[in-house]
Structure 1
C-alpha cells in the first residue's frame, strides 16, 4: 500500500471521529462530510465496496443536511420569537443551565433584573428547542440596551438572534426608538452589521423602524 494512501485512510477516520466531538451542528456536518468523502475514496481504491457504499451514503446524508441547514438559517418560518417575562421560570432555567457559557460572552450579565429595572426578554425557538436568548434593558429616552444576545453552542454557526431584531414592532411596542449594543467583540461585528446595527461612538446602534422587517 502506498504510504500516502494509508495516511489518507487514517485522516478520513480521524475527521469522522473528530466530527463526533463537535457541539456545533454545522461544524459536525462539515467535518463528517469531508471525513466520509475521504473514506469513500480510500475504500474505493482498495476495492472494499461495502465500506464505499456506507461512506458514500453518509456523504449524501451530510450534503442534504448542510443544504437544509443553510437554506433554513434565515427562514422566519423555521424560527419563532417568544417574548417572556424577565423572571419567567423557564427562562431562568435556561440561563442557569448555560450560565458558564453565557458568562464567556456577557460576563456582566445578571439573570434576575434589579428591582425597578425594566427589561424585555425573548426566546428564539426552533420547534421545541430553545436556540437563543435576547434581553434588552429600557435605558429611558427611547433607548433599549442589549444586555444579552446569546445562542446555544449547537446553533452558534447560525444567527437565530436576527429574528428578534427583524421584528421591529417588538421594540416599537416597548417605546424604543433605537436599540444599542454598548460594546462588541471582533467576532460580533459582521453579525451586528447583518442585523442592521451601525457603529456609533464606542458602541453599535440600530434604529427601530416599525414597517421594516430587517
Structure 2
C-alpha cells in the first residue's frame, strides 16, 4: 500500500470520530465512534505507530463493552395517558418543537384535535409522546410518534406499539396510518412493522 493511501485512512478515521462527537444519540455515538476507532487502529498498524494502534484498539473494546450494556440492559417503560388539558403536555411539545418539526414538518400543534395522547417514560425519564386521532371506523391516523434524540434506539417504539395494540383493538381499530416525511422516520416506521404504500403514507395492520 502507498503512503498516500495510509494518510487517507487516517483522514477517514479522524472524520468518522469527529462525526461521532456530534451525535445526540448515545447509541449512534458508540457505533460511529467504534468504527472510527477501529479504522484508527488499522491506520496505526499500517504505519507501525503502535501507541495509536493499541490506544484505539482499547477504545474499540470500550465501545463494545458499553454497547453490550446498552443492548442487554432491561429498561422499564411506562405508557401514561395524558390530554390537551394537562400543562405538561404543552410544555413537552413546546420544549421539543424544533425536533418535532424535523420529523413531522406538517404537525398540527393544535393538541385538542387528538383522540389518543400518551407519554412514554423510560426508567422514569419522560422520553416520548404519541398522539393520534380516528380517521374513520377502524382507522387510526398517527399525528406524532416522537422520541427525544438521545433515546432513539427503537426500544421505545417497540414497547409502545406492543402495549397499545390491545387498546387499539378494543376500540375497534384495525389499521394505523402514519406519515413518513424524512428518511430516518421512514426507516423507523419500517422497523415498527409499517408498510409503505408508494407515497409518504405508511400503513400497519393490527
Place the TM-score, normalised by the shorter chain, in its bin.
0.7 to 0.9
Deviations 1:93-146 (A, max 9, x none): 2211221221233233334433xx452222223324333321122446454321
Partner Cα distance (1:48, 1:199) in 2: 49
Alpha-carbon shift at residue 60 of structure 1 (Å): 0.5
Structure 2 unaligned spans of 5+: none
Q: Which has the higher helix share?
A: 2
Q: From 57, 77, 80, give the equivalent of 1:80.
A: 77
Q: Which residue of 2 aligns with 1:161?
A: 157
Q: How is 1:1-214 mapped onto 2 (pairs within 5 angstroms)?
A: 2-70=3-71, 77-78=74-75, 80-87=77-84, 88-114=86-112, 117=113, 119-139=115-135, 141-156=137-152, 158=154, 160-167=156-163, 168-172=165-169, 175-181=171-177, 183-185=179-181, 187=183, 191-192=188-189, 194-197=191-194, 204-207=203-206
Structure 1 unaligned spans of 5+: 208-214
Give yes or no for contact 1:84–1:91 (8 Å, CA) kept in 2: no
Question: Residues 107 and 195 (structure 1 numbering): CA distance in 2 closer, same or farther, change over 3 Å?
Answer: same
Secondary structure at the aligned position of 1:82 is classed as strand
Partner Cα distance (1:99, 1:186) in 2: 16
Question: Residues 155 and 98 (structure 1 numbering): CA distance in 2 closer, same or farther, change over 3 Å?
Answer: same
- When the two structures are superposed, what TM-score results if normalisation uses the length of structure 2? 0.74
RMSD of aligned Cα (Å): 3.3
Partner Cα distance (1:198, 1:78) in 2: 28
- When the two structures are superposed, what TM-score results if normalisation uses the length of structure 1? 0.72
